Amino acid sequence: MLFLNKDAIQKIDQNSIQTAVEQAYRLVLSQNYNMPDRMHVADNQNILLLMPCFSEKFFSTKLVSVFPEAQQHGQPAVNGVMVLSDNVSGQPLAVMDGAAVTAQRTGAVGGLGVKLLTPETVRAAGVLGAGVQGLSQARYLLFNRKIKTLYIYDLYKESAINMTRVLKKEYPDVDYVITENANQLVENSSVIIAATTSSNPLFETTPDGVMGKIFISIGSFRPDMQEFPDTVIETADDVFVDTLFAAKESGDIATPLKKHVITKNKIKEFAGLLGKNTYPENRTVFFKSVGMALFDLTVSSAIYQLAVKNNIGQALDF
């Protein structure tokens, strides 16, 4: 059995991770996977999520714990442990830092959105939210497109400054601009990625303000969360989601549906874009990913296989 911590996981190249996310969407199309509803356990103010998923060769279980008060003691609120097993023999193959797997796969979902939805000529983009997920979104954005100016906004300016510092080392030629608010970021960017835990839309806008832009929402994984104002989804020519059945999990989809701002038939599965040529330009697009255990499965499988091949990680005598 292999143990892979955050550092080991970060040694896996971004292209392989993004290809693994693409593989997950292919499985959505072929329906060749088994993803039971995740188990949601509440214990006092804390939450434990158990997320199993099965493909032909592997199965994975991600354990995610959310302890809101841990931050007060200087510890991360969210922890994860990922167990990957062989789906033929049943043997456990690897234990991984689940938070690191989540960051990689979530970044790569945004990255694949950028790859399939935005023109190669895009030069100005913005990331809303400068936490772990925001950083990962920025990395996969910069991996996919030659961005000239990256706008960053976070409620806590310190977080945006930290994120800029990290990215400057990896992509020194990009101009990083920390905006004073989300509106300013949206005005200046043609691609906007949001990775926040906001319950309310992050900015106000008019249809003219969003026309022709690509919006990717990675946060809002619960019906009571919403990152983008209804104007975005209302104005959008195209709306994509991970899977149609997952759409109701996010307030960015569920709320506009409930308010009759849009109808269900406007929403399409992102997987339908695979294998398509360049996306038509000048369209307003909204892509909402709520995340799913299937991403964890294909990404952790790819990480495991590459780790074995390249001698990465710590061997465990199971």
How far is C-alpha 52 from the chain's CA centre? 18
> How many residues form the binding site for its own copies (CB under 8 A)?
40
Contacting residue, 12, 27, 28, 95, with its own copies by CB under 8 A? 95
Q: Tokens 């497109």 belong to which residue?
A: 145
* Candidate ranges 16-24, 69-77, 135-143, 173-181; the one touching its own copies (CB under 8 A): 69-77
Contacting residue, 18, 24, 28, 97, with its own copies by CB under 8 A? 97
Contacts 24+ apart (CB under 8 A), 132-135: 132/99, 132/103, 133/103, 133/106, 133/107, 133/195, 133/218, 133/219, 134/159, 134/163, 134/195, 134/196, 135/103, 135/163, 135/166, 135/167
Q: Give the span between the Cα atoms of 61 and 38, in whole angstroms.
A: 10
Residues 42-61 that bind its own copies (CB under 8 A): 43, 46, 48, 50, 52, 54, 59, 61
* Candidate ranges 34-42, 129-137, 140-148, 236-244; the one touching its own copies (CB under 8 A): 34-42
Residue 131 lies near its own copies (rule: CB under 8 A) = no
Residue 90 CB, shortest distance to its own copies, in Å, is 3
270: phi then psi, degrees, rounded to nearest 5: -60, -35
Residue 181 lies near its own copies (rule: CB under 8 A) = no
**Dihedral angle of Cα 117, 237, 193, 276, to the nearest 10 degrees:** -20
Contacting residue, 29, 77, 244, 308, with its own copies by CB under 8 A? 77
Nearest to its own copies of 60, 217 (CB atom): 60
| Amino acid letter, residue 11 | K
Neighbours of 178 (CB within 10 A): 18
Residue 316 lies near its own copies (rule: CB under 8 A) = yes
Nearest to its own copies of 9, 163 (CB atom): 9
DSSP code at position 13: -
- Where are any strands of DSSP class E within 116-272? 124-128, 149-153, 175-178, 191-194, 214-217, 238-241, 267-269
Contacting residue, 14, 87, 137, 226, with its own copies by CB under 8 A? 87
* Candidate ranges 15-23, 72-80, 236-244, 265-273; the one touching its own copies (CB under 8 A): 72-80
Provide DSSP, 116-134: HHS-TT--EEEEE--SHHH
* Candidate ranges 77-85, 164-172, 210-218, 294-302; the one touching its own copies (CB under 8 A): 77-85
Contacting residue, 5, 15, 32, 181, with its own copies by CB under 8 A? 5
Nearest to its own copies of 20, 78 (CB atom): 78
* Candidate ranges 83-91, 143-151, 246-254, 277-285; the one touching its own copies (CB under 8 A): 83-91
Residue 212 lies near its own copies (rule: CB under 8 A) = no
Q: Give the span between the Cα atoms of 131 and 163, in whole angstroms.
A: 8
Residue 311 lies near its own copies (rule: CB under 8 A) = no
Tell me if 297 sits within 8 A of 58, measured CB to CB.
Answer: yes
Tokens of 46: 């804390």
Judged by the rule CB under 8 A, the positions of this chain that interact with its own copies are 3, 5, 7, 34, 36, 39, 41, 43, 46, 48, 50, 52, 54, 59, 61, 63, 65-67, 70, 73, 75-79, 81, 83, 85, 87, 89-92, 95, 97, 314, 316-318
